Amino acid sequence: MKKTTTALVAGVLAALPFAGFAQDSSDPIVIPIHNWSSQIVMSNVVGQIFEANGNNVEFVTTDSQAVYESVRLGDVTLEMEVWEGAFGASFRAAMEKGGIVDVGDHDAVTREDWWYPMWTKDACPGLPDWKALNECAALFTTAETGDKGRYLDGPVDWLKHGAERVEALDMNFTVVNAGSAAALWAAIGAAEADKTPIVVFNWTPNFAEAVWPGEFVEFPEWVEGCDKDPAVGPNPNALYDCGNPAKGYMKKAAWEGMQEKWPSAYSILEQISFTNPQIAQMAKMVDIDEMEPEEAAEVWLEENKDVWSAWVN
């Protein structure tokens, strides 16, 4: 199947006026893979486009925060999903040190924050306000969290600062980190059976919005500097006393040497822009349809030829 799709991508490239890959280095373009499905599928989509363009590609599994240092040093060539909420701070820190470039925004608008499936609101009608959530904390207690409500946060490398937020806003919650994205979906699925109230980390675009109608908790609005300056946000003595950006960016980033070493691949990267529905669909292919990421990427390329052929033109 892989051969067929690569042949399909290559066929479209051959029909284009010129392909500049002859100038590209034959060294592999190193693409990092993380621990949520859209990023894995998108990285495979882009890798397959580069391969059809004549480039060599290598995938490496890496930590989603440390990757910005790896891109800056050129150990990894690019990053396809720089989510503002989770990775804005690491990306900005790497930009300040130098060696990494901003290759532009995807069309997608993103949000990552505390979230609940709609049945939770039946039990706590003041939602989505965070103060109402806090008053309902007793609905969320578990054996593990005692008399505090449980907030099931993402895996630790997504660095959501949930515990700092609970502390900064003096909330009656304990943060528990899920071991994987799959553990988040399993917890929502288990709560669904008897409509147990649950509050977990979630994000958009994602497949989850099509499966479980729900809402983000509304925390004090994100203000630039909330993670750096205690004076910013409602608690004058604490960092992280704000929600994440409600209309965050999703950027592409690359090692600053990429343009010179692989000019053709870099110009394709500049053109690439995924939308919210496209990203949600890539996650669904793995998390609901249970495809392998490489297979999902092949199917995506087959079904969206008009989308990506515009990027390689």
Binding site for ligand TMO (CB under 6 A): 36, 83, 86, 112, 154, 158, 203
Q: How many CB atoms lie within 10 A of CB 98?
A: 9
Rg (CA), the chain: 21
Q: How many CB atoms lie within 10 A of CB 202?
A: 25
- Considering the complex, state which of residue 36 and residue 266 has its C-beta at the smaller distance from ligand TMO: 36
Closest distance to ligand TMO from the beta carbon of 154 (Å): 6
**199 vs 216: CA distance, rounded Å:** 9
- Considering the complex, state which of residue 132 and residue 159 has its C-beta at the smaller distance from ligand TMO: 159
Structure tokens at 91: 């990306």
- Considering the complex, state which of residue 39 and residue 55 has its C-beta at the smaller distance from ligand TMO: 39
Closest distance to ligand TMO from the beta carbon of 202 (Å): 8
Give the CA angle between residues 65, 67, 70 to the nearest 5°. Answer: 140
- Considering the complex, state which of residue 154 and residue 243 has its C-beta at the smaller distance from ligand TMO: 154
Closest distance to ligand TMO from the beta carbon of 85 (Å): 7
Closest distance to ligand TMO from the beta carbon of 172 (Å): 25
- Considering the complex, state which of residue 112 and residue 287 has its C-beta at the smaller distance from ligand TMO: 112
Sheet holding 100-105, edge to edge: 78-83, 250-255, 100-105
Terminal alpha carbon distance of the chain: 24
**257 vs 252: CA distance, rounded Å:** 15
CA distances in angstroms from 91 to 61, 70, 305, listed in the order given: 18, 11, 31
**22 vs 39: CA distance, rounded Å:** 28
- Considering the complex, state which of residue 154 and residue 233 has its C-beta at the smaller distance from ligand TMO: 154
Side chain identity, residue 19: A
Closest distance to ligand TMO from the beta carbon of 122 (Å): 27
Closest distance to ligand TMO from the beta carbon of 260 (Å): 30
**168 vs 206: CA distance, rounded Å:** 28
Cβ atoms of 254 and 99 within 8 Å: the answer is no
Cβ atoms of 244 and 112 within 8 Å: the answer is yes
- Considering the complex, state which of residue 203 and residue 212 has its C-beta at the smaller distance from ligand TMO: 203
Closest distance to ligand TMO from the beta carbon of 100 (Å): 18
Cβ atoms of 301 and 13 within 8 Å: the answer is no
- Considering the complex, state which of residue 24 and residue 112 has its C-beta at the smaller distance from ligand TMO: 112
Closest distance to ligand TMO from the beta carbon of 81 (Å): 7
